[in-house]
Copies of this chain bind each other. A is one copy, B any other.
Amino acid sequence: MATNITFHPGNVTHAERCSFLRAQTGATLWLTGLSASGKSTIATALEQYLLHRGLHAYRLDGDNIRFGLNKDLGFSQKDREENIRRIGEVSLLFADSASLCVTSFISPYAADRELARKLHTSHKPALPFIEIFVDASLAECERRDPKGLYAKVRKGEIKSFTGISEDAPYERPQKPEIHIDADKTSVEDAVKVIAHYLIEKGIIKA
């Protein structure tokens, strides 16, 4: 009978969980970059790639976070920090669950990204946090401008905008695990680079 099972007291360990799910481990793949740098497109393609391989993967982005968990937050400095803190905590839960969590947020401040990283590295057991810098030039982002946001900034309709306004700098990652030259790299090649890294580090199987 399918429901006939003997329980052992206590929690399932992370290693047991991964073993049951035939996963190597859980991890967070943290994409960061300017608006229109291509983060979401790469994140979507990466999620597809992982799911196609039968791996549990899930993407956190503005659509499922800003209108849900973080709908109480605005765009003040304090709220932006809290936004990233919560995303870091939720990605940690997914990584702990043996899922591969792909986050796709500008996350412009090094301190906020470090906080998200530290949540993973100080977790017991430590969980991989892979910072992926989707590095597109401002000129290229402005040329693409799929949502017309840069145009609005130039017309003065948006006051504070990451990478343009003095009060909203984008702090480039100094030592990201993966650096993608997004001006020159196709989505397919970006996913390949990430997949090779994950295989090399033993996070997914070859």
Across-interface contacts of A16 in B (CB, < 8 A): 51
Contact mask for chain A residues 172-197; partner B; CB cutoff 8 A; 1 contact, 0 none: 00000000000000011001100110
A82 to B94, CA, bound (A): 21
Main secondary structure of the interface of A (DSSP, over half): helix
Tell me if A27 counts as interface (CB < 8 A to partner B).
Answer: no
Pick the residue among B2, B69, B93 that contacts A199 (CB under 8 A): B2
Across-interface contacts of A187 in B (CB, < 8 A): 7
Across-interface contacts of A49 in B (CB, < 8 A): 3, 5, 7
Interface residues of A in 15-64 (CB under 8 A from B): 16-17, 20-22, 44-45, 47-49, 51-54, 56, 58, 60, 64
A48 to B58, CA, bound (A): 22
CB proximity of A39 to chain B, nearest CB, Å: 14
Tell me if A131 counts as interface (CB < 8 A to partner B).
Answer: no
Do A12 and B48 have beta carbons less than 8 Å apart?
Answer: yes
A5 to B3, CA, bound (A): 38
Stretch at the interface among A96-104, A141-149, A153-161: A96-104
If A56-B21, A192-B3 touch, does A97 touch B94 (CB 8 Å cutoff)? yes
Pick the residue among B10, B45, B86, B195 that contacts A69 (CB under 8 A): B86
Do B90 and A45 have beta carbons less than 8 Å apart?
Answer: no
A92 to B192, CA, bound (A): 30
CB proximity of A35 to chain B, nearest CB, Å: 19
Do A48 and B8 have beta carbons less than 8 Å apart?
Answer: yes
